[in-house]
Structure formats: C-alpha cells, structure tokens
Amino acid sequence: MNNNILLYIGRFLILVLVQVFVLNHINFLGYLNPYIYIIFILLAPININKSLFLFLSFILGLTIDLFGDSGGIHATACICIAYLRPVILRSVFGLSYEFQTVKLSKVGFGQRLAYVTLIVLIHHIILFSLEIFNFSHILLIAKKTLFSSLFSIIVIMVVLVLFRRKDS
C-alpha cells in the first residue's frame, strides 16, 4: 500500500508541476489550452474513500488555482468531476465498475476514450462557464470548451498510452 500512496503523491506533484509551469503557458489561438492535471482524478482508485477523493480533488484544483490566480474555478470543476465520476464509470464500464474490477490499462480503447472524453468535457464546460460567467458569451464558452477539450483529450490519451503500467 505504501508504494501506491507514493505513486499517487508523485503523480499529483508531477501533474501539478507540468500543468503550472509548462501547460498553463500554452495558449494556441486563444482557445487551445491542455489541462492534463485531471489525469489524477481519472486514474484514482475505484474503491477510494469518497470524502477523501473529493478532498484530494479540491486540493488539486485549489493548487492549480493558487498558481494560476483563477479564483477557485479549477477547484470547482475538479470537485464536480470527482463527484460525477462514479456515475460516469458506471455508464461507461457497467458491471465491471459494479464489481470494482475496472483497470484503465486493461479496458479497450473505445471505453477508455469514452471515459476520458466525458470527464474532460464536463470539466471544461464547468471551467469555462465559470471563467467567462456570462450567458451572452455562450459561443465563446462553447468554442473554448470544444477546442481545449479536443486538445486535452488527445494529450491525455497520449500520456495514458506512454505511461501505462505494465504490471497492472
């Protein structure tokens, strides 16, 4: 269990550092900004304590907010996707989720893509809706959500393929 805790702490730190010092400075055409820190939420164990998971998701988002001076929008988006994650897992993986046998490295590409896409889309819709916070700019919210989501999904899928665990 200690190795798993160290793995999660290391994953948390690396994702936050890469997001804050590298990816937050990428902004193609004003719409493309990859947010890969949500990999931490995507790869969290299925049987994690729900209160602890919500707290860790909040800390993850708050850390990104503190470095980005974004006023809590990342924390809110992270808490929302952490809260909705069991519903998304159940809808994408079905019985495998019910019996807690889902391992992201062992599922098919289509299921993995569906899971990542749903989490990223929900995260980005919440994030950009709170960032812009003006219904008259709904097209801007949609544009930023669409393009950043596509870019984030591609980057996250590449990261998941490159760094998947061989033993799991």
Task: For residue 165, name the pLDDT band (cuts at 50, 70, 90).
Answer: low
Mean pLDDT value of segment 136-147: 91
Residues 6+ away with beta carbon under 8 Å from 81: 38, 41, 57, 119, 122, 123, 126
Is 87 contained in some domain? yes
Q: H helices within 22-137, ranges in order? A: 39-42, 50-68, 73-93, 95-98, 109-132
Is 167 contained in some domain? no
Is 61 contained in some domain? yes
Q: How many domains does the chain have?
A: 1
Q: Is the pLDDT of residue 167 over 60?
A: no
Is 149 contained in some domain? yes
Task: For residue 166, name the pLDDT band (cuts at 50, 70, 90).
Answer: low
pLDDT single digits (tens) 72-111 = 999 999 999 999 999 999 899 887 666 666 777 778 889 9
The answer to whether residues 117 and 153 touch, using CB atoms and an 8 Å cutoff, is: yes
Mean pLDDT value of segment 21-38: 84
The identity of residue 106, as a single letter, is: K
Q: pTM above 0.85? A: yes
Is 135 contained in some domain? yes
Is 92 contained in some domain? yes
Residue 136 sits in which domain range?
2-26+34-162
Pick the most confident of 15-19, 119-123, 136-140: 119-123
Q: Is the pLDDT of residue 1 over 70?
A: no
Is 110 contained in some domain? yes
* pLDDT value of residue 50: 94
Is 53 contained in some domain? yes
